[in-house]
Amino acid sequence: MSRHLDAGERVVRTQVLHGGITAEMRRLTIGTRHGGTRDLVLRTFVNMEHAEDWLNREAAALTLCTGTGVPAPGLVAVDPTASHCEYPSLLMTHLAGQTVLGDEGVETRVPLLARQLVAIHALRPAQRPREFVALTTADTVVTPQGADAAAWAAAIEVIRKPAPPHEGRLLHRDFQPGNVLFDVPPPSPAGTRITGVVDWAATSWGPTDLDVAHCSTNLALLHGPAWGLRFAEAYEEAGGVLAAAASERLYWRVRSGLAFSEQVRLVSQPWREAGRTELTTRAVETRLDAYVTTLMNALA
């Protein structure tokens, strides 16, 4: 890594960054030749399948975002095949700000998140990333204990159908509050702004509904079902375009909600580590049931 630093620079401190699921993240404080410091972030995939593909996609996305106004980290170097590092890794600039997962101020943040996602979907890569992959099937859904059986059965039937036709756009594919940085504390509530969007490893090509649905589900589990519905509205208010037919919008939102049924424990653990200790696996399952039921009632 030292060959990617400026002359006279060296790593003086490392700090493990928590909150990620698939990769190890470290903040590297670099001592400069004039006595100052600057920070970089090292993203490492340890014994992870598809690491090369993920890192190549992230490197391409960070390069695409440069100079666009989308506040992504700057790419410093990437070693997707571990030719120089112990494990496949990517080195990038460090962005100011922090994730905000608490309920306070969510009404201010949701429109900001929506406008940011519209800006991401407006990016036009010279080379398209690979087509999105949706792994959840009707047979892999895990219906939570005590869930509304009729609503979940109806939701499962929705995703048995083929995916609706759609126009492709660049997708972040994991756009959600855990991957967005805000200036905290802001100068005032009205001055809250997004300072960064991170974790571009799953960048794909597909329908905007898919990104919107993913963020909506995260918001519903973090703050309650109403915020999941509100995010889709905010996205359209910000100029984003979703599927025209209600049945098509329902398909993507239900697909996202049901996908979370398979990984509630995995998703909720970082939230608890970040301070949302009340979001136990059971509590998140209850919110997921409420959200899926709300979708089936409101959008069917």
- Model pLDDT for residues 44-89, shown as the tens digit of each residue: 998 778 899 999 999 999 999 999 999 999 999 999 999 988 899 9
> Are 223 and 140 in contact, with CB atoms under 8 Å apart?
no
- Distance between CA atoms of residues 272 and 282, nearest Å: 12
Name, in order, each residue with C-beta under 8 angstroms of 65's C-beta and a sequence gap of 6 or more. Answer: 71, 72, 123, 200
Rounded to a whole number of angstroms, the CA Rg of the chain reads 20
Q: Is 167 helix (H, G, I), strand (E, B) or coil?
A: coil
Structure tokens at 296: 């089936």
Q: What is the pLDDT of residue 52?
A: 93
- Distance between CA atoms of residues 16 and 46, nearest Å: 14
Q: Is 205 helix (H, G, I), strand (E, B) or coil?
A: strand
| % of the chain with per-residue pLDDT over 90 | 80
Q: Which of 263, 168, 152, 247 is nearest to 210 (CA)?
A: 168
Instruction: Report the phi/psi class of residue 98: left, alpha or beta, with left for phi > 0 and alpha for psi in -120 to 50.
Output: beta
- Give mean pLDDT, residues 247-273: 95
- Give mean pLDDT, residues 214-228: 98
Q: Which of 155, 143, 148 is nearest to 296 (CA)?
A: 155
